[in-house]
Amino acid sequence: MNDITIRPLTKADEPEWRRLWTAYLEFYKTSVPEEVYTTTWKRLFEDGEYEPNGLIAETDGKPVGLVHYMFHRTCWTVGNNCYLQDLYADPAIRGKGVGRALIEAVYEKADRAGAANVYWMTQDFNETARKLYDRIAKLTPFIKYQRK
C-alpha cells in the first residue's frame, strides 16, 4: 500500500462518501433514512462554525476511510471542543495506519481552531479500533446515557 493521503471531502466524493458511511453504519448495525444522507452531505459543505466537517483518506487515489467531526461550545473551557463523530476505514486496509492518520488530521484541525479537547465514543465491542484508541488517546470513565 502506498502512502495515505488525508484531504477534505469534495462534492465529487459523494458516491465514495456514501459507500464508506454506509459501511460504517452497517458495522454498528444501524441505518439512516435517505433524508439523513442528503441533509448530512449538504451540511458537510455549509459554512458555519458548528457545521459538521469531513475528511477522506486515500491510498493509490482510492478512498479507503472517512471521518466526520464538529466543534461545539462547552461550559468547561473558553475554547470549543471537537467531537470526532464517525471514523471508518475499509476492512481490507485496517491496521495500516488509516484510522490513526484520520484521527491525527482531526487533532491538527482542532489545534488549528484552538479547540480545548478532541473526544469521541465507540462501542465496547469495537476491539480492533479500541487498540488504536488506547495508544493515541486516554480512555475516560464516563458512561453515556441517552433519552429513551
Q: What is the CATH number of the domain that holds 101?
A: 3.40.630.30
In 3-state terms, what secondary structure has residue 85? strand
Domain residues for 30? 4-136
Does residue 146 lie within any of the structural domains? no
- Indicate whether 1 pLDDT > 60: no
What is the count of structural domains for the chain? 1
Mean pLDDT across 113-128? 94
pLDDT of residue 146: 86
- Indicate whether 24 pLDDT > 60: yes
pLDDT digits (tens, 9 = 90+) for 33-86: 999 999 999 999 999 989 999 999 999 999 999 999 999 999 999 999 999 999
Does residue 148 lie within any of the structural domains? no
Does residue 48 lie within any of the structural domains? yes
First to last CA, the chain: 44
> Which residue bears the cell 466537517?
53
